[in-house]
């Protein structure tokens, strides 16, 4: 009985028929919904992306069922995994991993292995939630990393104008970008800095204000580029 739960439904029915088709699609939709719900735990997301995650297993399932037993199966599988490019913008590592997890569900249900698909979700769901909620992969220094933006007049040579302040209150600093603003009369500098202590943030901003003529300065949590994995 247990072995039958992990046997392809197509081996039991002998071929794809209406009943087996609906069972596989229903299982793919249900497991896709569960997987999409798991992605919402501890992650930022949009409704469109979550809906796509919920429907993706069913789409992959249909593709695999339509070529089951055909020599084109290998090509179809490769094409199915290329669906990771269905988004016009680069995704974060968490989004891409969620896409591959839902596609794995679609592949399993498309091959008729509904038992394995259910078991996969049962095993991977708590692991994914634990990783999302835990501090695994985080660095202790993350709380000290800041992105600092400084507005300076065009007459100021910003090359080393703030080095003294950075050396006093930060362990390291790096100029990431320079952008003109206010019709070219000002520059906006973006730095990535690592504070020596968390209470040094205000002292650093005050020191920078003295050197940029009290123009706009902003300090925020370190920003990660979306396409960096």
pLDDT band at 220 (very low <50, low <70, confident <90, very high): confident
Is this model's pTM higher than 0.75 or not?
A: no
In terms of Cβ atoms closer than 10 Å to its own Cβ (0-12, 13-18, 19+), residue 130 is exposed
pLDDT at 205 exceeding the cut of 90: yes
Please give the average per-residue pLDDT across 100-114, as a whole number.
86
**Domain-wise residue ranges, the chain:** 2-133, 140-221
**Higher per-residue confidence, 32 vs 59:** 32
Rounded CA separation 25/16 (Å):
12
The pair of structure tokens assigned to 148 is 């600092």
Please give the average per-residue pLDDT across 171-176, as a whole number.
90
Mean pLDDT score across all residues of the chain: 80
User: pLDDT (tens digit, 9 = 90+) per residue, 11-26?
Assistant: 666 677 888 888 889 9
Quick one: how far is CA 69 from the chain centroid?
35
| CB count in 10 Å sphere of residue 25 | 17
**Higher per-residue confidence, 222 vs 137:** 222
pLDDT at 84 exceeding the cut of 60: no
Q: How is domain 140-221 classified at the CATH fold level?
A: Alpha-Beta Plaits (3.30.70)
For the chain, the distance separating the N- and C-terminal CA atoms, rounded to the nearest angstrom, is 43
pLDDT at 166: 93
pLDDT at 201 exceeding the cut of 50: yes
Residue found under tokens 């003295």? 210
pLDDT at 62: 82
**Higher per-residue confidence, 44 vs 116:** 116
pLDDT at 95: 80
pLDDT at 203 exceeding the cut of 80: yes
| CB count in 10 Å sphere of residue 26 | 14
Rounded CA separation 10/116 (Å):
14
pLDDT at 14: 66
Please give the average per-residue pLDDT across 224-228, as a whole number.
44
The pair of structure tokens assigned to 184 is 């070219």
């Amino acid at each position: 009985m247990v072995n039958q739960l992990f046997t392809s439904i197509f081996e039991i029915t002998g071929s794809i028929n209406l009943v087996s088709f609906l069972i596989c699609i229903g299982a793919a939709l249900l497991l896709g919904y569960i997987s999409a719900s798991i992605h919402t735990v501890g992650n930022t997301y949009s409704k469109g992306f979550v809906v796509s995650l919920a429907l993706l297993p069913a789409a992959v399932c249909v593709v695999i069922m339509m070529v089951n037993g055909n020599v084109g199966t290998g090509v179809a599988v490769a094409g199915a995994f290329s669906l990771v490019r269905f988004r016009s913008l680069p995704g974060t590592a968490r989004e891409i991993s969620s896409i591959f997890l839902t596609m794995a569900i679609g592949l399993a249900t498309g091959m008729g292995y509904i038992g394995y698909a259910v078991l996969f979700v049962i095993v991977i769901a708590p692991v994914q939630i634990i990783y999302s909620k835990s501090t695994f992969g985080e660095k202790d220094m993350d709380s000290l990393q800041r992105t600092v933006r400084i507005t300076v007049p065009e007459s100021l040579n910003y090359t080393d104008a703030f080095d003294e302040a950075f050396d006093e209150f930060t362990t390291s600093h790096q100029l990431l970008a320079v952008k003109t603003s206010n019709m070219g009369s000002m520059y906006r500098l973006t730095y990535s800095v690592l504070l020596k202590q968390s209470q040094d943030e205000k002292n650093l901003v005050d020191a920078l204000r003295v050197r940029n003529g009290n123009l706009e300065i902003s300090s925020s949590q370190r920003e990660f580029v979306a396409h960096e994995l």
